Amino acid sequence: ELCEFIGAERRGPVMLVTLERPKALNALCDQLTRELTTVLDAIEDDDSIGAAVLTGSTKAFAAGADIKEMQPKGFADVYLEDFITSSWERTARMRKPIIAAVSGYALGGGAELAMMCDFIIASDTAKFGQPEITIGILPGAGGTQRLTRAVGKSKAMDLVLTGRMIDAEEAERSGLVARVVPADALIDEAVAAATTIAGFSRPAVLMAKESVGRAFETPLAEGLRFERRMFHAAFATEGQAEGMDAFLAKRDAHYSGR
Ligand code: HXC
């Protein structure tokens, strides 16, 4: 299937997904969002893909929701179509791991899209911000919630209320990004991380992702309970038997994906 604004390229067990709308710095228009959903659905359905990387261009991961499309909308429009969260949240609903590889601007909805991924690897040129306040609105796809959980109240308030941008170094210091790498190493580093993940036991990876995700949604006692259930369930997988046997036999593990 042909996408105008989304590229999808196989790298072994990893799908590299690229936002490709350079004329608008990858602003997340309706069509781009629909295409992204289609591509993510296909990744989820393909057993041979173990993890994904979502990236943009050198200049911009994504400069936010498309302001040209938003400008004429009124309350009834955005409320009735549940703009825009309902369609974007496909990224947040991924079961397979998805890493955001961010270079250049990740602003507004672009930062929110990156935060919907499991973790962010940033190039040293990355800039993050929630500039919605500067155009008369507020973040609407997790920018007041995921950001606050990632960086805490003080930094989140600073970013959301002033609209200022932070660079990769400040983003890493704040806990928003997992690693910062030189710009020309960004894709390789992200694909390598995704390849590592894709090489592990598939059920263990999904359970681990699901369990960390719980930390964002439940009180500690509930989260710990959930983690323990998942941990116990992992002992029902072929991956557990193989992984531990391989360790004890001092050989590489070969996971069946079950
Ligand atoms: C539509 C956009 C855009 C956007 C950039 N462009 N961002 N179009 N929506 N969000 C377009 C510009 O209009 C311009 O088109 C082209 O991309 C290049 O952008 P420039 O501004 O000329 O580039 P530059 O001077 O380098 O500045 C880069 C920038 C700036 C600092 C990133 O573009 C900018 O401030 N963009 C808007 C950022 C923003 O406010 N994002 C939040 C949106 S609200 P032309 O045709 O003139 O060449 C949001 C809400 C999410 O995301 C809520 C979800 C529910």
pLDDT of residue 235: 96
Judged against a pLDDT cut of 90, whether residue 87 lies above it is answered with no
Confidence class for position 253, pLDDT limits 50, 70, 90:
very high
Ligand 1 centre from 104 Cα, in Å? 12
Confidence class for position 1, pLDDT limits 50, 70, 90:
low
Q: Which atom of ligand 1 is nearest to the CA of 107?
A: 41
Mean pLDDT in the chain? 96
Q: Which atom of ligand 1 is nearest to the CA of 134?
A: 40
Mean pLDDT of 18-39: 96
Dihedral angle at the C-alpha atoms of 85, 90, 95, 99, nearest 10 degrees? Answer: -90
Confidence class for position 39, pLDDT limits 50, 70, 90:
very high
- Residues with CB under 6 Å of ligand 1 are 24-25, 27, 63-68, 84-85, 105, 107-109, 131-132, 135, 139-141
Active site residues: 65, 109, 112, 132
pLDDT of residue 105: 98
pLDDT of residue 46: 98
Half-sphere exposure of 21 (CA within 13 A, CB side): 24
Ligand 1 centre from 190 Cα, in Å? 25
- pLDDT more than 70, % of the chain: 100
Q: pLDDT per residue over 117-149, tens digit each?
A: 999 999 999 999 999 999 999 999 999 999 999
pLDDT of residue 89: 87
pLDDT of residue 84: 79
Q: pLDDT per residue over 49-71, tens digit each?
A: 999 999 999 999 999 999 999 99
Q: Tokens 């228009």 identify what position?
A: 29
Q: Tokens 């067990």 identify what position?
A: 13
Q: pLDDT per residue over 103-112, tens digit each?
A: 999 999 999 9
Ligand 1 atom 8, closest CA = 24
Judged against a pLDDT cut of 90, whether residue 33 lies above it is answered with yes
pLDDT of residue 108: 98
**Ligand 1 pocket mutation, candidates 19, 61, 67, criterion most atoms within 8 A of CB:** 67
Judged against a pLDDT cut of 80, whether residue 191 lies above it is answered with yes
Mean pLDDT of 2-16: 95
